[in-house]
């Protein structure tokens, strides 16, 4: 802080000096020269002086050129005589140096004015600027006006919600814990990836407790000007203190809370540190049980400065993890509440097919589906709309502009039918769920699979099944085109090879190689040329990978040759209908044989 103030005053002083320097310079530009009285009089006598002003004993004469002369005389008689002689016009002014005094006042006034402007600018960047105040308070108000959220709006993160119920109790009755000498939590750190509902959960705590919610984003605190962040933090808390009990929410806390040794630009560094310090000051500045609960959110808790998570600050951590399949289903149902959904929508299936999506994604998914349904003039959202929205979310929009020849379409249909059939009849594979030959994003066609549950562990047979399913496309092409198959399988083959490699090298699943792993640990920066195993082992690893891949390939070719009729039928259905769901698959292929 003091460093900043010193800098500020130094800047101010610099500007004042500059102003005076400038004024002095402009005066010099008029080129006044001060000369001794004798010289002045001789200049008058020589006729160099054209006009003279006398003020007390100060005299000023203008010459024919651009130069003016100043001088001092104690005895004016000689000068006046000379002026009379040469008929130089002169005027006598009040002895006090009025004109130059006025000049001085103007100069000082100007300097003060500029200094004032500058001070205001610096203040604006730092303390108590009204505009900033309005900005923060405006934001805070805006959050007050937001739709109220409750725990019922937060789904799929039940443990986190449970932990938050305590905080609601202490906000509703800040003295409740204090009665027994307990300390209400002062600060909570919500930890989890983006879109998991951290902000939502914080708002729900406010909603449940019925208290105002003041929010700021730490990344927005840290601006270009040093001091802005600190002042915004101060404003946020000033505001909050007037509305206790309440919640102060700080999003993306890592933007200011990074460990203080980080090396970024010096300016950014100092600004962040000041903002962080201000935050710590504010958090220490109110007593516990006073009814301000600070909630901060981050997805990178490991980068946070220890000072932030110390006792009495953000000392409670609530993890908001990505939802599992049941969580995703619950989230879908929450967001389905305010939409016109068809009664037969299978939320479980949608949840199974959206592994990896978080709350925000699922909300977007249903929103896309709603928009799509409205565009089609439907009056409710069907499973089909959700499936299409899913394809869009995962694969990008339909490439309607892609004009494909009949031959290309046929190859794509066979290729996808191959994947689907191998998946359908391979026990350990996930269930083929939807097949489409509408190009989307980079894909020309796609077969979707649904796992029976969220994938946690994969067994050896499941990995082999993945390889077989991946080979299904190329194998079908081979049956259709014999030796003139296409590049369409390149991703499939890449994936299959990778699985085989990892089976042998990482998972100890290669026959005859024992339980050893042969994967290089990708650590550090340097490249360690030693493989960690002999050439002989390397040869066996290669051979084992090759064997796995060849074995899968021949099995897939045999399977599809056996089911050539079904393959043809499925491909033709795809050509006609472009997209088929699990119901049509069952109709064509028969019930899926279960493992
Ligand atoms: P975060 O703060 O973790 O990045 P948000 O709370 O901003 O995530 O989530 C954005 C939106 O996604 C929420 O407003 C909500 O509509 C939806 N959402 C996220 N998580 C959930 C959840 N667990 N339950 C219901 N909706 C969720
Ligand atoms: Mg958020
Ligand atoms: Zn394929």
Q: Taking a C-beta distance cutoff of 8 angstroms, is the pair 339, 374 a contact?
A: no
Q: What is the distance in A from the centroid of ligand 2 to the CA of 194?
A: 7
228 or 268, higher pLDDT: 228
Q: What is the pLDDT of residue 131?
A: 42
332-370 tens-digit pLDDT? 999 999 999 999 999 999 999 998 899 999 999 999 999
Question: Is the pLDDT score of 124 beyond 80?
Answer: no
Least confident of 63-72, 419-428, 438-447, 457-466: 63-72
212-265 tens-digit pLDDT? 898 888 877 776 566 778 888 888 888 888 888 889 999 988 888 776 655 555
Question: Is the pLDDT score of 35 beyond 80?
Answer: yes
Residue 194 Cβ contacting ligand 1 at under 6 Å = yes
Name all domains of the chain by residue range, CATH numbers in brackets. 3-101 (3.30.720.210), 141-319 (3.40.50.300), 325-394 (1.10.8.60), 406-589 (1.20.58.760)
Q: What is the mean pLDDT of residues 106-125?
A: 68
71 or 445, higher pLDDT: 445
Q: Which of 155, 363, 365, 393 to mutate to test the pocket of ligand 1 (most atoms within 8 A of CB)?
A: 363
Q: What's the alpha-carbon Rg for the chain, to the nearest Å? A: 40
Active-site positions read 416
First to last CA, the chain: 70
Q: What is the pLDDT of residue 275?
A: 84
DSSP state of 286: S
Cα–Cα distance for residue pair 424/432, rounded to 1 Å: 6
- Helical spans, DSSP H, in 438-485: 460-481
Q: What is the pLDDT of residue 221?
A: 76
Question: Is the pLDDT score of 197 beyond 60?
Answer: yes
For residue 591, name the pLDDT band (cuts at 50, 70, 90).
very high
427-450 tens-digit pLDDT? 999 999 999 999 988 889 999 999
Residue 195 Cβ contacting ligand 1 at under 6 Å = yes
Residue 387 Cβ contacting ligand 1 at under 6 Å = no
Q: Taking a C-beta distance cutoff of 8 angstroms, is the pair 378, 386 a contact?
A: no
Q: Taking a C-beta distance cutoff of 8 angstroms, is the pair 449, 495 a contact?
A: no
Question: Is the pLDDT score of 129 beyond 50?
Answer: no
The CA-atom distances, in angstroms, between 151 and each of 12, 16, 197, 206, 208 are: 53, 59, 11, 10, 7
Q: What is the pLDDT of residue 401?
A: 76
Cα–Cα distance for residue pair 433/447, rounded to 1 Å: 7
Question: Is the pLDDT score of 12 beyond 50?
Answer: yes
Question: Is the pLDDT score of 389 beyond 90?
Answer: yes
Q: What is the pLDDT of residue 278?
A: 86
79 or 16, higher pLDDT: 79
Question: Is the pLDDT score of 509 beyond 80?
Answer: yes
Least confident of 44-53, 385-394, 429-438, 443-452: 44-53
**pTM of the shown model:** 0.69
Q: What is the mean pLDDT of residues 63-88?
A: 80
268 or 343, higher pLDDT: 343
Q: Which of 153, 161, 197, 326 to mutate to test the pocket of ligand 1 (most atoms within 8 A of CB)?
A: 197
Q: Which ligand is closest to the CA of 420, given by its number?
A: 3
523-581 tens-digit pLDDT? 555 555 666 788 888 899 999 999 999 999 999 999 999 999 999 999 999 999 999 99
């Amino acid at each position: 802080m003091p460093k900043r103030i010193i800098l500020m005053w130094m800047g101010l002083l610099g500007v004042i000096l500059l102003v005076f320097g400038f004024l002095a310079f402009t005066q010099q530009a008029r080129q006044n020269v001060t000369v001794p009285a004798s010289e002045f009089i001789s200049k008058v006598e020589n006729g160099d002086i054209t006009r003279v002003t006398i003020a007390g004993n100060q005299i000023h004469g203008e010459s024919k050129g651009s130069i003016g002369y100043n001088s001092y005389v104690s005895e004016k008689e000689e000068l006046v005589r000379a002026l009379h002689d040469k008929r130089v016009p002169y005027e006598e002014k009040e002895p006090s140096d009025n004109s130059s005094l006025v000049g001085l006042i103007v100069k000082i006034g100007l300097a003060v004015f500029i200094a004032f402007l500058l001070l205001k600018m610096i203040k604006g960047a730092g303390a108590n600027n009204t505009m900033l105040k309005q900005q923060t308070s405006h934001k805070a108000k805006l959050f007050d006006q937001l739709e109220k959220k409750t725990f019922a709006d937060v789904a799929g993160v039940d443990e986190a919600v449970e932990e938050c119920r305590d905080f609601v109790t202490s906000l509703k009755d800040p003295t409740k814990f204090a009665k027994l000498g307990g300390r209400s939590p002062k600060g909570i750190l919500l930890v989890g990836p983006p879109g998991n509902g951290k902000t939502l959960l914080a708002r729900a705590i406010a909603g449940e407790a019925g208290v105002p919610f003041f929010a700021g984003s730490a990344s927005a605190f840290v601006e270009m000007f040093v001091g802005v962040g600190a002042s915004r933090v101060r404003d946020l808390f000033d505001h909050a203190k007037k509305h206790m009990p309440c919640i102060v929410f700080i999003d993306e806390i890592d933007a200011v809370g990074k460990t203080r040794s980080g090396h970024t630009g010096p300016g950014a560094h100092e600004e962040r540190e000041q903002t962080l310090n201000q935050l710590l000051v504010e958090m220490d500045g109110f007593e516990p049980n006073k009814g301000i609960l600070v909630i901060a959110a981050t997805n990178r808790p490991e980068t946070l400065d220890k000072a932030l998570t110390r006792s009495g600050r953000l000392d409670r951590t609530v993890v908001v993890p990505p939802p599992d399949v049941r969580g995703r289903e619950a989230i879908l149902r929450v967001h389905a509440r305010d939409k016109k959904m068809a009664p037969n929508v299978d939320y479980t299936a949608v949840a199974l097919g959206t592994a990896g999506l978080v709350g925000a994604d699922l909300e977007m998914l249903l929103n896309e589906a709603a928009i799509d349904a409205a565009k089609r003039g439907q009056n409710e959202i069907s499973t089909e709309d959700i499936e299409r929205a899913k394809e869009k979310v995962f694969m990008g929009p339909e490439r309607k502009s892609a004009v494909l020849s009949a031959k290309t379409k046929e190859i794509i249909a066979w290729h996808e039918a191959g994947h689907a059939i191998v998946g359908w009849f391979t026990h350990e594979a996930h269930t083929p769920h939807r097949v489409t030959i509408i190009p989307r994003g980079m894909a020309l066609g796609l077969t979707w699979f649904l796992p029976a549950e969220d994938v946690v562990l994969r067994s050896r047979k499941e990995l082999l099944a993945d390889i077989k399913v991946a080979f299904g496309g190329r194998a079908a092409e081979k049956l259709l085109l014999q030796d003139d198959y296409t590049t369409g399988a390149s991703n499939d083959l890449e994936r299959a090879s990778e699985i085989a490699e990892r089976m042998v090298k990482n998972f100890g699943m290669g026959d005859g190689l024992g339980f050893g792993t042969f994967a290089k640990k990708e650590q550090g920066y340097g490249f360690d040329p030693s493989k960690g195993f002999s050439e002989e082992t390397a040869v066996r690893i290669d051979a084992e990978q090759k064997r796995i891949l060849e074995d899968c390939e021949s099995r897939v070719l045999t399977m599809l040759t056996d089911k050539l009729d079904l393959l043809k039928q499925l491909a033709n259905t795809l050509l006609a209908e472009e997209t088929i769901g699990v119901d049509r698959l069952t109709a064509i292929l028969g019930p899926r044989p279960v493992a």
